[in-house]
Amino acid sequence: MSTKDWLEKDYYKVLGVASDATPEDIKKAFRKLARQYHPDQNKDNAGAESRFKEISEANAILSDPAKRKEYDEARRLFGGGGFRFPGAGQGGPSMEDLFRNATGDSGISDLFGNLFGGSTSRRTSRGPRRGSDIEGEVTIDFADALAGSTVTMQTTSDAACPTCHGTGARPGTQPTVCRACQGSGMQTSTSGGVFAVSEPCRECRGRGMVVESPCPTCAGSGRGQSTRSMQVRIPAGVTDGQRIRIKGKGGAGENSGAAGDLYVLVHVRPHRVFGRKGDHLTVTVPVTFAEAALGAEISVPTLDDGPVRLKVPAGTPNGRTFRVRGRGVKGGAADGDLLVTVEVQVPKHLSEDARAALAQFQSLAGGGDPRAHLLEGHR
């Protein structure tokens, strides 16, 4: 039946019932008219046969709740009073003109096709769908984080069910095209207005296919859990807690869709000697009181190039930081530096001779009270 028939025929009038007639009223009216115009009762009356077909057509629409709802909505929107075409009856386009000029790809034909449960779209099945993104975590050593590393990861993601190979149907059977959406996976509905809203089909949940006999492994979903091992390259310079993206290593796509991405959360084990501050490495080096007071040249470790010599000037205070250029994180736009913080060590145990020498030093060094400035104003 064409859309035009829905708009031009008054099926309530054909059956002689009101537009708010109950299902029982429609049934009674049809039975009465069917007995009256049945071809077997009117063998020589061609008009009766035509009338019987018209009555049967009206009953087929009005006795089906879904079809009746669509029919009523169409008449309300485009029939007697719900919608007026500009210029109709005054030299403007008529209903006939609109149907004659409507194309199968756009315009009013799309709205009619969606409204009546059909589809003017050429789409007959759901298109490609991108796979899901998955996440994983790795823990690597401090040195590997700076230089880069390749690690082995076990990932679990959605994949095609190995039993039904993604169809969702029991082996030996096939899913069928959804009758509600005709395989498109989408349905269009109206909410009392002229505009139509598309949403995933409720019957097939957007898949476009209906599984009559579900696969026992995946219960008809067509998806299963896939565990795989893969080699993942962690780039040089990664920091603790950084989340890196590896394109195309996520869940498999559907209907030739692209795979999703893998997101890896990186944990870096702390180093026993070195720390990190951006592109710079940090290290704390102990020095003796004598070295800090008199000055010294000390040996300082680096991460991978052997120790370097650092000159500590005389009178260096505890906690002072020195910079050794180019001995930090490498591989960026410029190599980072090594930041060396000196920590003056105070001996816990002194011999009698050392104690006497230190007391003599204190009397000779003088210098007054180093805390005097803190007490000013409190006396």
Quick one: what percent of the chain has pLDDT higher than 90? 24
Instruction: Please determine, for residue 292, whether its predicted confidence score (pLDDT) is greater than 50.
Output: yes
In the chain, the amino acid numbered 63 is S
Residue 211: what pLDDT?
A: 85
Residue 112: what pLDDT?
A: 43
Q: Hey, CA dihedral for 61, 67, 69, 71, is it positive or negative?
A: negative
Residue 6: what pLDDT?
A: 56
Mean pLDDT of the chain: 78
Asked if residues 240 and 267 have their Cβ atoms less than 8 Å apart, the reply is: yes
Residue 226: what pLDDT?
A: 65
- Residue 178 banded pLDDT, cuts 50, 70, 90: confident
Domains along the chain with CATH numbers? 3-83 (1.10.287.110), 275-365 (2.60.260.20)
Name the E strands within the chain.
Answer: 134-140, 149-160, 176-177, 186-190, 196-200, 209-210, 223-234, 243-246, 262-268, 275-277, 280-288, 296-300, 308-312, 321-324, 338-345
Asked if residues 79 and 72 have their Cβ atoms less than 8 Å apart, the reply is: no
**pLDDT tens digits, residue range 33-77?**
888 887 777 777 878 888 888 888 888 889 888 888 888 887 776
**pLDDT tens digits, residue range 212-270?**
888 888 877 777 666 778 888 998 888 899 999 989 888 777 767 788 888 999 999 99
Tell me phi and psi for residue 368, to 5 degrees: 70, -165
Q: Which residue in 154, 161, 140 sits closest to 262, CA to CA?
A: 154
If one compares 342 and 252, the residue with the highest pLDDT of the two is 342
Residue 109: what pLDDT?
A: 40
Q: Hey, CA dihedral for 101, 104, 105, 106, is it positive or negative?
A: positive
Quick one: what percent of the chain has pLDDT higher than 70? 78
Any bridge partners for residue 136, and if so which?
264
If one compares 166 and 79, the residue with the highest pLDDT of the two is 166
Query: Cβ of 220: how many Cβ atoms within 10 Å?
Result: 21
Q: Of 77-86, 99-108, 279-288, which range is least confident?
A: 99-108
**pLDDT tens digits, residue range 261-278?**
889 999 999 999 999 998
Residue 97: what pLDDT?
A: 44
**pLDDT tens digits, residue range 87-146?**
344 444 444 444 444 434 433 444 444 444 444 343 444 567 787 888 888 999 999 998
